[in-house]
Amino acid sequence: MQKKKASADELIALILHGIEEVKGLDINLLDLREIENTVCDYFIICNGTSNTHVNAIVSSIQKTVSKSSKDKPWHIEGADNAEWVLMDYVNVVVHIFQKHIREFYDIEGLWGDAKMTVVESSYNQ
């Protein structure tokens, strides 16, 4: 069976599953579609507890998405120091932070006009 490119909703679900597989923390989904001049439709933001955990989240997202669809990130940035890794799936951009870096840059505050959904994890934190 040939893999097909996932819709935005399917891609979001796969990314969220990848994050949850390795217990990514504080997951938020920002819907940017009603904001003018945005670079994408959605941001998914989460954090890990260390460089190793951030890299594990990145790896899990890549494996989960590529296993179910032919989507690959167009670009990945920040994997070398793993404090803030950006995964660009074109219409969905994933930000994986270490907690102190996430608090410093406050992406949710910068995009305060976006509709934000807090994603409840299926595991206890």
Structural domains of the chain sorted by starting position, each given as residue range(s) with its CATH number in brackets: 8-118 (3.30.460.10)
Q: Tokens representing 69?
A: 């669809």
* Structure confidence at residue 71 (pLDDT): 86
**By C-alpha distance, which of 65, 89, 71, 70 is closest to 2?**
70
The angle formed by the CA atoms of residues 74, 76 and 79, to the nearest 5 degrees, is 165
* Average pLDDT of every residue of the chain: 92
Q: Is the pLDDT of residue 1 over 60?
A: no
Report the helix count and the strand count for the chain, using DSSP H and E: 4, 6
Q: Tokens representing 87?
A: 């995964």
Question: Mean pLDDT over residues 50-59, rounded?
Answer: 97
Pair 49, 31: CB distance under 8 Å: no
